[in-house]
Chains A and B, each alone.
Chain A
Amino acid sequence: TQLLEQSPQFLSIQEGENLTVYCNSSSVFSSLQWYRQEPGEGPVLLVTVVTGGEVKKLKRLTFQFGDARKDSSLHITAAQPGDTGLYLCAAALYSGGGADGLTFGKGTHLIIQP
């Protein structure tokens, strides 16, 4: 059973369009992270959201953590070809507060066509 469900799995849009990808779970998380991974590279952390209802912005990317801390969304405004990549959401396996392995969703494969 996948703890984190991401949708859509694949998305191909034209440059300049807006898009939203989702990360959902039936579990409550103390925090949730979004990563971007390019081919042949490891995931790179974009943001960590901690508080229910929190909104964080990173240039054209807007991240939101659900009020109940079970879900999150990533919205990209005016997408550019450089945004192409695999977007992964992740959460700590346990919530004990110490260092944890992460559980990842399957990811959203995003292609922005020029």
Chain B
Amino acid sequence: GAGVSQSPRYKVAKRGQDVALRCDPISGHVSLFWYQQALGQGPEFLTYFQNEAQLDKSGLPSDRFFAERPEGSVSTLKIQRTQQEDSAVYLCASSSSSGQETQYFGPGTRLLVL
């Protein structure tokens, strides 16, 4: 079966531009997570959805970052007025329930802000 997919795989943006990153979780997965991975570092948690409800957004670094999952499946992470420090790989993960289940990661979107 299909795993978690993310698009685009690569995105180059000029400083100040808005970007939208898409995540298609595994079909039927209840939980969806976004992480940010800087070069040479481990992923850092950004936000978590259970179905369409955003239950934890404590990791979002600023109010320029916004995530949504309006129908409880596909999710979009939006970054407004991008800055160079936003350059990173953005990973999406999903899990099958609302418990401590295995998280399955997508390949990530590599964002470069010039």
Residues of A that sit less than 8 Å from B by CB: 4, 6, 31, 40-45, 48, 88, 90, 92-93, 97-107, 109
On whether the beta carbons of A102 and B103 are closer than 8 Å, the reply is yes
Q: Which residue of B lies closest to A96 (CB)?
A: B100
On whether the beta carbons of B105 and A43 are closer than 8 Å, the reply is yes
Among B40, B44, B95, B105, point to the contact of A44 (Cβ < 8 A). Answer: B105
Q: How long is the Cα–Cα vector from A24 to B56 in the complex, in angstroms?
A: 26
Is B42 on the interface with A (CB-CB < 8 A)?
Answer: yes
List of B residues within 8 angstroms of A44 by Cβ: 105
On whether the beta carbons of B102 and A104 are closer than 8 Å, the reply is no
Q: Which residue of B lies closest to A107 (CB)?
A: B42
List of B residues within 8 angstroms of A42 by Cβ: 4, 91, 93, 105-108
Q: How long is the Cα–Cα vector from A105 to B44 in the complex, in angstroms?
A: 9
Q: How long is the Cα–Cα vector from A104 to B34 in the complex, in angstroms?
A: 13
List of A residues within 8 angstroms of B4 by Cβ: 42
Interface size in chain B (residues, C-beta < 8 A): 32
Tell me the total A-B contact number using a CB cutoff of 8 A: 69
Q: Which residue of A lies closest to B95 (CB)?
A: A99
Known pairs A42-B107, A43-B43, A107-B42; A100 contacts B100 (CB<8 A): yes
Smallest CB–CB gap between A106 and chain B, Å?
Answer: 5
Q: Which residue of B lies closest to A10 (CB)?
A: B40
List of B residues within 8 angstroms of A97 by Cβ: 99-100
On whether the beta carbons of A99 and B101 are closer than 8 Å, the reply is yes
List of B residues within 8 angstroms of A101 by Cβ: 33, 35, 45-48, 56, 59
Is B87 on the interface with A (CB-CB < 8 A)?
Answer: no
Interface membership of chain B positions 45-85, coded 1 if the CB is closer than 8 angstroms to chain A and 0 otherwise: 11110100000100100000000000000000000000000
In the complex, besides A43-B91, A99-B101, 18 extra interface pairs with C-beta distance below 8 angstroms are A40-B108, A42-B108, A43-B105, A45-B103, A45-B104, A48-B102, A88-B42, A98-B100, A99-B30, A99-B31, A99-B48, A99-B97, A99-B99, A99-B100, A101-B33, A101-B46, A107-B42, A109-B40
7 A-B residue pairings within 8 Å (CB atoms): A31-B100, A40-B108, A88-B42, A99-B95, A101-B35, A102-B43, A102-B103
List of A residues within 8 angstroms of B43 by Cβ: 43, 88, 102, 104
